[in-house]
Structure 1
Amino acid sequence: MTTRRSFIKSSAVYSAGLLMAPSLLNYNHKYIGLQLYTVRDAMAKDPASTLAKVSKLGYNSVEGATYTGTEKFYGMDPAEFSRLLKRNGLIMPSSHYRLGDEKTNGEMPRGTIMQDWGKAVDDAATVGLKYMVCAYLSESERGGTDRYKHIAEQFNKAGETCKKAGIQLCYHNHDFEFKQENGKFMYEVLLENTDKNLVKMEMDLYWVNKAGQDPIVLINANPGRFPLWHIKDMDKTPEHGFTEVGNGSIDFKKIFKYADKAGLKYFFVEQDKTPGDPFNSISQSIAYIKKNLV
């Protein structure tokens, strides 16, 4: 059982261990990704020009934020969207999906883990996805330990379907997974009750920190379980809001030393809210990343 106290205690041990493990310092990654939710308004209006602009800024990888509910990628079928990505020199190794265990406008949405998942996986394979990520659990989909165990069962089943198509299922965290029941985080319940080969995690570094947890401790406790990261910074105000990468309080340089142990394959810049034009914000973020992280 891992409590917040043991998380903190473990952090000190592992931080000391870093000094004895220089191999963890080796990190080299050619892809700099963007979660397209950051530019969602622009993508909704004109995905072609938006992707061209993203590419021009230096991003060569993107993560999708649509499909659930429409079973299309930004209004396009898989083949058409795949061609658009290629024209802009982009890959999309990952995209977000929903659990789909609640009704929207009185109906269950399609293209979710719970509804029409087989088609979602087939379409993902056509686009060339390597990862399909459950992005979020709505409040009505959450619960206590028993509920999260049930969700873990659904993830394992969905992960089996993904595996047959050569795709890896992942789960993207927020901060609500770090609420405890009987001294255990719900995030632990997911980790312990999912097959580590069928279900991996996309670690959102902002939300882990917002929950008062240490990403490095999670990585050391679950090596190889975090192939995807969201690179999202936390501002230094009392509200701890979103800010551009390198402009906040999260020590990305320290965390990136553990990239190999995490099993990192792709990371994506994400900024849920920006103070102005989101393209200005993602330009600042990639400049910091190129100078300091890759």
Structure 2
Amino acid sequence: MEKMPIAVQVYSVREEAGADFAGTMKQLKALGYDGVELAGLYGKTPEEIRGWLEEADLTPVGAHVPFEELDKDLENTVRAYHSIGCSYVAIPAISEDRRYGGSRYEEFLAAIPVIAGECRKYGMKLLYHNHGFEFEKAADGKTPLDELYASQSPDDLETELDTCWVKVAGEDPLGYLEKYRERCPLVHIKDFIRDDGVKLVAVGDGVQDIRAIAEKAQECGAKWLVVEQDDHIFGSPMENMKKSVCYLRSIME
């Protein structure tokens, strides 16, 4: 496959970033990453974050921003991430009452075009990042993730497909990449094993067919592969981030 830019979701190294954001960014660059997807600002200003990313020569691809933050202070929140240089704002998860069939689901759907419109003012796009619950069939037999995207214009909402949780839910990551072809600019690359439950591991160390996923993501129009590992049972965060990016680079040679 052709080379693709690789970013890391900063949540993967959240403790390191919280202790020394600037130093952590330089370490990630040295490991071979091209960009980062933010997960909060760690009490720093957007100007500080942008400066440290520029020093490290890392592209601020986007950010996971809780729906509650966007709902509470939309204009200032979007402006802050735009000032850092982000191209994408991703809703990382939603509360149970805002999920399909919940008491605030319709309210959530109505808010999406409003948030997307604010993002467009700054040349940014709104994404939704899935977990596993969106694939659990509702009482009416429908799949919540598909219902969410069917309810919204692609101009208002694109997907940040987390291919790990697709697989964990018993679905096919390649099939979902195809389903949302040209609507999935960022793809989360995450690996796991099944050992008394789901355990996350470095990319290439688990059951995922990473090469096939990366190739399909590229074919379907993805702009970035984003490595994410929520926890680190085996090895340290930086060790796993190194293994992950090295594995991805190896399949692009």
- Whether 1:285 aligns to 2:244 is yes
Q: Residue in 1 aligned with 2:30?
A: 56
Contact in 2 for aligned 1:27/1:256 (Cα 8 Å) = no
Per-residue CA deviation, residues 102-127 of structure 1 (Å, 9 max, x unaligned), is xxxxxxxxxx2211111111111111
Q: Distance in 2 between matches of 1:56 and 1:223?
A: 32
Deviation of the 1:293 alpha carbon: 3.9
Deviation at 1:264, TM superposition (A): 0.4
Question: Hey, what does 2:110 align to over in structure 1?
Answer: 153
How far does residue 146 in structure 1 lie from its aligned partner after superposition? 7.2
Shift of 1:199: 0.7
Q: Which amino acid aligns with 2:3?
A: N
The one-letter code of the counterpart of 1:151 is: F
Q: Secondary structure at the match of 2:72?
A: coil
- Give the RMSD, CA atoms, in angstroms: 1.7
1:143 Cα shift? Answer: 4.5
Give the length in aligned residue pairs.
Answer: 251
Q: Are 2:95 and 1:127 aligned? A: no
Q: Which runs of 5+ in 1 are unaligned?
A: 1-25, 67-72, 101-111
**Do residues 86 (structure 1) and 54 (structure 2) align?**
yes
- Normalised TM-score (structure 2): 0.93
SS at match of 1:218: helix
Equivalent of residue 96 in structure 1, options 37, 51, 64: 64
Offset at residue 222 of structure 1 (A): 2.5
1:86 CA displacement: 0.6
Q: For residue 173 of structure 1, what is the aligned residue in structure 2?
A: 130
Distance 2:228 2:19 in 1: 19
> Are positions 1:203 and 2:161 aligned together?
yes
AA in 2 matched with 1:160: G
Identity %: 30
For 2:177 and 2:219, locate their aligned partners in 1 and report how far apart those are by CA, in whole Å: 7
Amino acid at match of 1:79: E
| CA distance in 2 between partners of 1:28 and 1:50 (Å) | 24
- Segments of 5+ residues of structure 2 without an aligned counterpart are none
- State the distance in 2 between where 1:293 and 1:148 align: 41
Distance in 2, Cα, partners of 1:28 & 1:281: 21
Match for residue 199 of structure 2? 241
Alpha-carbon distance in 2 for matches of 1:196, 1:252 = 26
Larger radius of gyration: 1
SS in 2 for 1:194: coil
Question: Is the 2:159–2:180 contact (alpha carbons within 8 Å) kept by the matching residues of 1?
Answer: no
Q: CA deviation at 1:60?
A: 1.9
Partner in structure 2 of residue 255 of structure 1: 213
Q: Is the 8 A contact 2:97 2:105 kept in 1?
A: no
Q: Residue 234 of structure 1 contacts residue 242 of structure 1 at CA under 8 Å; is this kept in 2? A: yes
Tell me how far 1:149 sits from its aligned partner: 4.2
Residue 33 of structure 1 pairs with residue 1 of structure 2: no
> Distance between the aligned counterparts of 1:209 and 1:273, measured in 2?
18
1:215 corresponds in structure 2 to 173
Match of 2:70 among 93, 96, 113: 113
Letter in 2 for 1:44: G
TM-score (norm 1): 0.81
User: Does the CA contact (< 8 Å) of 1:226 and 1:263 recur in 2?
Assistant: yes
Q: CA offset at residue 276 of structure 1?
A: 3.2
